[in-house]
Structures are given as C-alpha cells and as structure tokens.
Structure 1
Amino acid sequence: MQGLLADKITPNTYVFNSLMNVNAHSLSYNLSVYKHMQNLGVAPDLTSYNILLKTCCNAREFNMAQEIYEEMKKKERDGLLKLDVFTYSTMMKVSADGKMWKMASNIKEDMQGGGVRLNLVTWSSLINAYANSGLVDRAIEILEEMIRDGCQPTAPCFNIILTACLKSCQYDRAFRLFYSWKKSGIKISLSPEQKRCLDGAFTFCKEYPSSDGTILVVPFRPTVTTYNILMKACGTNAERAKSVMNEMRRSGLCPDLISWSILMDIYGTSQNRDGAVQALRRMQRVGIKLNVSAYTVAIKACVANKDLKLALHLFDEMKTHQLKPNLVTYKTLLTARSNYGSLQEVQQCLAIYQEMRKAGYQANDYYLKELIVEWCEGFLSSGSANQDFYNLDLQPKRKESFNLFLEKVVTVLQKDVDQNQIVDVRGLSKVEARIVVLSVLRKIKEQYLLGRAVLDDVVIITGHEKTSRTEVETSAVDVEHAIITVLTDDLGLEVLIGPGSCPPVSAKPNALTKSRSNLEQVSKNFTRRPQGVIKITINSLNHWLKKKVARIVQ
C-alpha cells in the first residue's frame, strides 16, 4: 500500500479489505487501516465491516463489535448496506463468547426480519450463547427449533448442550441426555403447516406420522469429544471414567490425548497417584505421542499426592523428549512445597525458578520469597523474626527488586562452602539483605553437618564507603544495622565492620549486654557513612557451628 501512495495512487476498497483480512488477529492494526481508509475518502463496504467484526471477535472486544454492528444496522436502514449471513453469524459468535443470550436472541430476530435464513454456524452459535449462560433447557429448545427449520444438527451441537450440563454441575442430566439420544435419537414433533413449508428438507432424519402431524427422529452419533465430556462429568470417580472410555472403544472410537489426560486428572484429584502415572505409561504403550499438557497433568497428580520426587522425575523425562514446559508446569512445581526442609530443596526450587525466567515466563516471586524467608529464619534460636519487620518490606512493590533479591539468593546458594564466601547485598533492602545473609549461614550449617569444613571468612559487601548520595547512604546504613543485629544478637557471631578500620563486635552469650553496648558505640561511628564491608571471621563461624552441633546432639 505504501508503494501505491508513493505513486499517488489511492488504494481502493479491495486493497484495504485484503490488508485487514490478513491481519484479522490484530485489532489495533485493522482499526488504523480503517481510519486511514476513511481519511482517504474510501468508503468501507459490507466486507470491510464484516472483517472488523471478525477482528473484534478474535480480540474479544465485544462492546466494540456491538458498536460496529449498530452502525451497520443504521447504514442498512439508510439503504447503504445489506447485512448478510456472515455478519449475523459473526455477531452470534460474539454473543456466545460473551455469554450474552439476550443479544443473541435479538440478532436472531434481526436475521428473520431481514429475510436471512439461519445456517448451521448461526444456529450452533445461538445454542452456544444459551449454553454458556447456563440455560440448558433453552439451549435444547433452540436445538429443536433448528431441526424444525430444516437445518441438520451435527455432533458439536449436541456436545455444546452436554458441556452446558457439565458447567452447571448437572452431571447426571448429561448422562441421561446422552443415553436417551444414543438409544432413540432426538424426537421432534412437526405440525402439518411446518411439514408443507419445508417439504423435502428433512432428508437427514426419519419421519413417522402422528395424530398431530409428523414426528422427526434425528439420529445422534457421538464423537470422541462427546465421550470426553462425559468423562469430565464423572468428577472424581475414576472407575466410572474408565467405564466411559471402554464404552468409547466399543463404539468404534479410539480415546485420544485429551481422553487420557482427563483420566489422569481424575486419578490425581482422587488421590490416586499410581493410577495417574500408569495412565501416562499406558498412553505411551498404545502409541499416543505425549505432549506438555499430558505430562503436566501427571506432574500435577504427583504434586497433589505430595510426591515431589516423582513429579521432578517426570519433569526431567518430559525435557528429555524435547518438550518445553509451559507456565502451568512451572507453577505446579514451584507451588508444590509449603516449606523447605533442606538446602537441596531450596536449590531445586530456585533452579526451576531460573529455568522458568529464562523461558520467558513470569514467576510468582512473592510466594517464592516467602518460602525462602521461612527457610532462612527457621534455624534461628528465636524461632522466627519479628513479623512486623518483614511485613514492611515483603509487599510486592517493585518487580526489579524481587528479581535482584532472588538472583542473589541463587548465586550464594550455588557456591560451595570451601569457596570464598563473598556476599554482595548492594541494591537490596534491609530485609532482603538479612534473608540473603541468613541463607548463606544456613547453607554453611547444613554442609558442616555433612562434614564440609569452613575454610574462610564470610565477607558481606553492603555499599561503597565513598558514596555521596544521601538516600543511598541512609539505605546502606540501615542494611548494615539489620545484618549486624541478626549476626550478633540472634546468632552470637563475631563480626568486623569496615575494611579493618573498626574493632570486632563480640556477641558472646556471657557478655550480651556488653555486645549490644559495643554495637551501639560502633553504630555511632558509621551512621555518618556506610563502611561497605562486614566480615564474619572463620573462628567465629566454627565456634558457632560447634555450638549448633552440640545442641543437635543433646
């Protein structure tokens, strides 16, 4: 189009319609094309409006679709347009997707008033509009009206009604309708007048004379989708779902990936982990190619039954088959734990978190942060930190702060104990810094219990001592206060403040009062400017670890 404009040739309606039709999934683009069309004085035709309606439907912009439809009706009243079946079908789909059954009813009246006969698509959307609104009886009435109008219903029309029963929790009714339709079809009475008006239109069904006119019997042929809906209607009854699946086979149909996934999900919700995994293996044996959704359902079943080890095994197996986990897969694994018992469990979860981030998915950082806080605070002698202290900072305010905090936790927990323990907490708040430091100490303690000795000091970098920005300086001071308080008062560790410029702060149990007094004195020295470095000596660490081991032994 740019080439035409460059040659000073105004594109015609056909060119604009072609552009909009190709980009029917981009509402913003098509609206800009429509506006450009008007600016150039090119009048939109019926096709232009129909494409805009389709675009609004794809974007689920139902109100905008209604506005365009009203504009089209006005043009029709003015004799500028004549709405066709495509217009009405699209608007009927808008009504169905938006659960607007009254609007669907009005569109049906508009069609009949305009002399446009409803086709299969329009009737199906009309049934869907009532079904999505939970009006099962009205949906059945529309199905019967559809047949009387001489339009043959297909399996999806019946499936829509069964799905409506499912959504409205009318599970037994779904089964009753299914078996009634399957046994004798759907029976419709036809008056003599209706029979005369549409004579020859009922070749798709059998006709039987009755005292009031004619009885039409429309056969019902269930599909795999039909049986899948019935399996969902089994709730947590896995045996009934298996029976439906066997009935599907006896009808000459083969259960598909969705059928097996539904069965696995039922096993999972009924606390039958083995049944879910066996169903997954059976799928493989019968030759069904597994996808991410199937694995995710099996993983969810394992998580629901508190078998995270098997869930992680399936997660790794899925990736060996070159299947990329989706958002649901990651979230299922990340929310599997209500707490962490060991360093390995934290590292495992953080590895999944990192993988999720690299795949481009947004993680539940706040939930993960809470679990890490609980794990880090769990080994303090006081049991847990002041909750008010955490509530000040654990609100999901800044996403970048969450990301920085979790990345720093990942970094320190991936290091071996015998490596130089340099912990950089710059850029973190005092609460986040405290959590990172505690995560390092808990890791050191757990590795020490496994026989890994501490070979070096722990150095904590809190900020640059030559900073001149007041807000950064104040923040660094708060961070140092928070870290020193937990190290000395809560853990009884000895720390050095600054690059060797301040004496050590000792917080031995037999001199606790002296320790706090000393801390207050040192605090006066660095409130004017952050010192930048806090060091936990190797001797202090070993003394603290030995006391921890002694308490465990006792």
Structure 2
Amino acid sequence: MLFFRKTPNITLKSLSYLRRRFATTLITKPFPDNPTVAYYDDLAADAFSSGDYSALRDVLNKRVQDGFKNSKHTFSFITHSNCSPSIIDKLVETVSHLNGGITRRNALDLLVTRLCKIRRTEEALRVIETLARGGVCVPAACTFYPILSFLTREKSLDHAWRVVDVMAEFGIRLDLIGYNLFLKAYCYGGEFDEAAGVLRKMEEEGIAADSRTFDALVLGACRAGKVDGAMVILRRMVDDGVYMMYSTHMYVIGALLRMKCYEDVMRYVRSFVGRDKLLDAQLLGVLASKLMNLKKVEEAMSILEEMKQRGVPMGYKLRDFYKTNAGKENGARVDAVIAEGGNGV
C-alpha cells in the first residue's frame, strides 16, 4: 500500500523514499481515505523523530495540497526535543524547500509561534531573518506577533521595540495589533507616559483605536485608581459603538470593589444588563460571587434577586447562597413589621 494513496502531486521517488523510511508505520497506520489535521501532525512528528527531513517536507507539502493548513500542533514535536541550533537550521532548510506561497508562509508562522511557546524568541527571530533573505519566504506583520506578544508580556519592551526595527528593515510597519500589545504592557505596568506615546504614534500613522485599544486604556486607568477616567473612556466607547470586551467590564468592577464603592459597582453592572443574555449572566454572576466573597450579603442578594427576576441562570453556589439567605431576609422583614406595630399581613 502506498504511503500517500491519493497523491498525484507527490513524485514516485518521494513516495518510495517515504515508504522506505516508514515501513513499520505503514503496516500499523495506513494512510486513511479521510485524514484529519491530527493525523498530519502525527506524521510530521514521526518524520522529525526519525530524522527524515525530506519526509517532513513531503508531509507539510501534502497536507496543504489536501486542504489542511498547518495547525498549532504541527511543530509541537520540538517542544520535547533538545531543539539545538542545528535542528532549527534543518527545520529552516526544510521550510525553505516547501512549495511557495501559503504552504511556506504558513509553516514559517507556525514554526515561529512554537519557538516562542518554548521561550526561544531569539531563534524565532533568526528563523524569520534567514528565510527572508533573498525573498525565500517574505514575512508579514503577523509573523512577528508571537515574538512581540512574548516580549511585551515579559516586560522586555526595549527588546520588543528592537524587533519593530527589524520589521521596518523588511518594509513592515507595526499595525494596530502590534500597537495594542505595547499599549497593554505599558498600561498594565503603570507606565502611562509611555502608553500616551504609543497612542500618539498610532494617531500620527492614522491607526484608529479598537476594542483592545480601549481595553488597555481602561486597564491603565483602573490600575491608577482613576475610575472616573475609565468611565470617560467607556462613555466614548458607547458613543462610538465600539464593542466592549468582557475583560474591560472586569477591570471596572474590580476597581470599584477595591474602592468599596458597592452601590456604584451595582449601578455600573445594571447599566449594561438587559441587552445580551450571555453578558447578563457573566456580569451579574461575577458581581454576585464577588460580593458573596466580601461578605456583602445584602448587596449580593440584591443582585441575585435581579438574576431571578430576569431569568438569568445561577451556578449551584449562587443558588445555595440565595436559598439560604432568602429565608433570613423574609424573616427580617416580618420582624421589622412587628417592631413597627403592624400585623405582618
């Protein structure tokens, strides 16, 4: 049985080579009529573990020819390997000999992503630069995202800006996604002057803010204790019709609770409920849970009562809390009426 059964684009020489290298695999794992992405990933891992980079090249070519792009697991085999510089060089050579266009670019992007996952950003950058020479595989802005994401998360911002300089050498400008990575890192670290500088650069280049931009700004305002400033940003988002991310709400809720502004946080959440049932469940449920943890029984019960009235589902902990305290509240009301001289009717 041939290793690649429906493969008119694979040469007979290549098929013979693959068969010879994977004779044992062929007996136990014949190529299926309807292969999956995971199956191709397994074949790539088998080729790598055997040291057969020609077979790895053929697998990577064939999967795209069959309509399967590389997945985030395609190069996962290097996670558990020694991954020496010589191995990375062999992988670069393999990628350079893949079919041009989407096959080669997709493999480059996924290899860079995997190297960043194992904290090998210098090698990832070297892979990009090596393949970019002579136009073997021209990178795009998204090729650099994993590197920028890793460096900004690690607060290596000077290093990240040097990567931006490398991008510029290839004629690639930092786009909105890249700017947002820097903006969030600066806001999270409380470096607001630097964040303001990022915003100025975006404005100079005519790059409009999106949900993630505003999310970073709200984060920065909340971390600085300037909740009023965060509210101004939120008002602009609403006025401009910008989609508000779930994390944006969480920053505001967390800041108001830290300031013990319980009435304000309840008003804030209630101002957004009634438009989306999923968001209602998230906002009301999270706030009720946080109030419970803070021992704010009356406030938590107020939110849970609203969830009940709106038909918003509760988790079992919220349900138990509500059942336990609903009886207490009713008893407290009766006691109050009796104390005022009423008959409780």
In the superposition, the TM-score normalised over structure 1's length comes to: 0.46
| CA deviation after TM superposition for structure 1 residue 306, in Å | 2.8
Counterpart for residue 274 of structure 1:
228
Equivalent residue in structure 1 for 2:156, among 170, 175, 180? 170
Q: How does 1:240-389 map to 2 (within 5 A)?
A: 240-290=194-244, 292-322=246-276, 324-325=278-279, 329=283, 330-336=285-291, 338-340=293-295, 344-351=298-305, 359=312, 362=315, 365=317
Equivalent residue in structure 1 for 2:107, among 122, 126, 130? 122
**Cα gap change, 1:174 to 1:116, in 2 (>3 Å):** closer
| CA deviation after TM superposition for structure 1 residue 269, in Å | 2.0
Is 2:281–2:313's contact at 8 Å kept on the other side of the alignment? no
Give 2:159's aligned amino acid. Answer: R
**Cα gap change, 1:350 to 1:287, in 2 (>3 Å):** closer
Q: Take 1:171 and 1:266, find their aligned partners in 2: how far apart are those partners?
A: 17
1:236 aligned to 2:221? no
Identity in percent: 15
**Cα gap change, 1:110 to 1:351, in 2 (>3 Å):** same
Partner-residue secondary structure (3-state), 1:325 = helix
1:134 aligned to 2:88? no
CA RMSD of aligned residues (A): 4.3
- Any idea what the Cα deviations from partners look like across 1:102-141, whole Å, max 9, x if unmatched? 4888698478569535611111111111212222212211
- Any idea what the Cα deviations from partners look like across 1:414-469, whole Å, max 9, x if unmatched? 537566xxxxxxxxxxxxxxxxxxxxxxxx4xx479x655747xxxxxxxxxxxxx
Give 2:249's aligned amino acid. Answer: Y
| CA deviation after TM superposition for structure 1 residue 220, in Å | 2.0
Partner-residue secondary structure (3-state), 1:128 = helix
Is 2:125–2:147's contact at 8 Å kept on the other side of the alignment? yes
Is 2:98–2:104's contact at 8 Å kept on the other side of the alignment? no
Equivalent residue in structure 1 for 2:321, among 398, 406, 412? 406
**Cα gap change, 1:68 to 1:296, in 2 (>3 Å):** same
Counterpart for residue 175 of structure 2:
223
Q: Take 1:261 and 1:142, find their aligned partners in 2: how far apart are those partners?
A: 32
Query: Which runs of no fewer than 5 residues in structure 1 stay unpaired?
Result: 1-12, 15-41, 55-64, 187-217, 369-402, 420-443, 457-554
| CA deviation after TM superposition for structure 1 residue 319, in Å | 1.2
| CA deviation after TM superposition for structure 1 residue 313, in Å | 1.5
- Any idea what the Cα deviations from partners look like across 1:47-105, whole Å, max 9, x if unmatched? 73343447xxxxxxxxxx5488539999x99x9x9524264986662156798274888
Q: Take 2:212 and 2:313, find their aligned partners in 1: how far apart are those partners?
A: 26
Give 1:94's aligned amino acid. Answer: H
Counterpart for residue 373 of structure 1:
none
Counterpart for residue 100 of structure 1:
79
| CA deviation after TM superposition for structure 1 residue 410, in Å | 4.5
Q: Take 2:191 and 2:124, find their aligned partners in 1: how far apart are those partners?
A: 28
**Cα gap change, 1:282 to 1:113, in 2 (>3 Å):** closer
Is 2:44–2:60's contact at 8 Å kept on the other side of the alignment? no
| CA deviation after TM superposition for structure 1 residue 229, in Å | 0.4
Q: How does 1:141-160 map to 2 (within 5 A)?
A: 141-148=126-133, 150-160=136-146
**Cα gap change, 1:336 to 1:407, in 2 (>3 Å):** closer
Q: Which structure has more RCO (C-alpha within 8 Å, separation ≥ 6)?
A: 2
**Cα gap change, 1:172 to 1:360, in 2 (>3 Å):** farther
Q: How does 1:373-452 map to 2 (within 5 A)?
A: 405-413=320-328, 415=330, 444=335, 447=336, 452=340
> Which structure would you say has the larger Rg?
1
| CA deviation after TM superposition for structure 1 residue 221, in Å | 1.3
Q: Take 2:77 and 2:303, find their aligned partners in 1: how far apart are those partners?
A: 39
Q: Take 1:453 and 1:251, find their aligned partners in 2: how far apart are those partners?
A: 72
Larger helix proportion of the pair = 2
Is 1:96–1:104's contact at 8 Å kept on the other side of the alignment? no
| CA deviation after TM superposition for structure 1 residue 228, in Å | 0.2
Give 1:415's aligned amino acid. Answer: N
Larger strand proportion of the pair = 1
Query: Which runs of no fewer than 5 residues in structure 2 stay unpaired?
Result: 7-28
Is 1:96–1:132's contact at 8 Å kept on the other side of the alignment? no
- The answer to which of 235-244 and 163-172 deviates more is 235-244
| CA deviation after TM superposition for structure 1 residue 250, in Å | 1.4
Is 1:273–1:301's contact at 8 Å kept on the other side of the alignment? yes
**Cα gap change, 1:236 to 1:120, in 2 (>3 Å):** same
In the superposition, the TM-score normalised over structure 2's length comes to: 0.69
Give 2:330's aligned amino acid. Answer: K
